[in-house]
Amino acid sequence: MAFWRYVMGQKSVLITLFIANLLGTIYGYIWYGGQLLESKWYFWPFIPDSPTATFFLVIAIAAIYFNKHLGLFECLAFVTLIKYGVWAVVMNLFVMIHYEQLLPMAIMLMTSHGLMAIQAFMFYPTFNIKTWHIVITMIWVFHNDVIDYVYHQYPVYSMLSQYESHIGYFAFWLSIIAFLLLIYLQKNIKIRSKYLT
């Protein structure tokens, strides 16, 4: 853990991942441009889920680069990177199974979103997350789920709309799993630090 924290704290690593995630965030918001234009303005913060997740990480990386911690953004990044990273991988796999063919766009999205989820664990050792950060993140994520699947503002992609209720149920449990993972890691850190002291 200490070694990995050292690696992820290196300036060159931080700059590389900052640029990669910033470019991915910009591309992601462009991707959602059409849907945003067709949606009410008050839904905009909750529509581009994946780019917002990487945006949280970009802010967290920038703070770490300057030896600071923005725990709320770190918590938001950890949970949403896992949730929307895994969500997109599963959805794109489902699209390819549905059409019974390998789709280059789906493969690209699976790769990029899979890396999102991996980054959550890569950066976790450098994060400084407190209980109140988790509470606010829970409010954001579950509110986002309601906006997506009650107000029908989920990502419009391929033929997924016809499975909205099933996907909404899956998304809900992805949120639960992401938070359980975070709580498990937080407890392990507390136990380990208590044991070391």
Model pLDDT for residues 149-188, shown as the tens digit of each residue: 999 999 889 899 999 999 999 999 999 999 999 999 999 8
Tell whether pTM > 0.85.
Answer: yes
The predicted-structure confidence for 47-95, as pLDDT tens digits, reads as follows 999 999 999 999 999 999 999 999 999 999 999 999 999 999 999 999 9
> What pLDDT shows up at residue 190?
61
Write phi, then psi, for 94 (nearest 5 degrees). Answer: -65, -40
Residue 4, pLDDT > 90, answer: no
CA distance 113 to 60: 18
CA distance 13 to 3: 14
> What pLDDT shows up at residue 113?
97
Q: Please, are residues 58 and 73 in contact by the beta-carbon 8 Å criterion?
A: no
Residue 57, token pair as written in the block: 């990480």
Question: Of 44, 41, 81, 43, nearest to 59 (Cα)?
Answer: 81
Q: Would you mind telling me the total number of residues written for the chain in this entry? A: 197
> What pLDDT shows up at residue 196?
43
Neighbours of 154 (CB within 10 A): 23
> What pLDDT shows up at residue 189?
72
Neighbours of 33 (CB within 10 A): 10
Q: State the Rg of the chain over Cα.
A: 17
> What pLDDT shows up at residue 86?
98
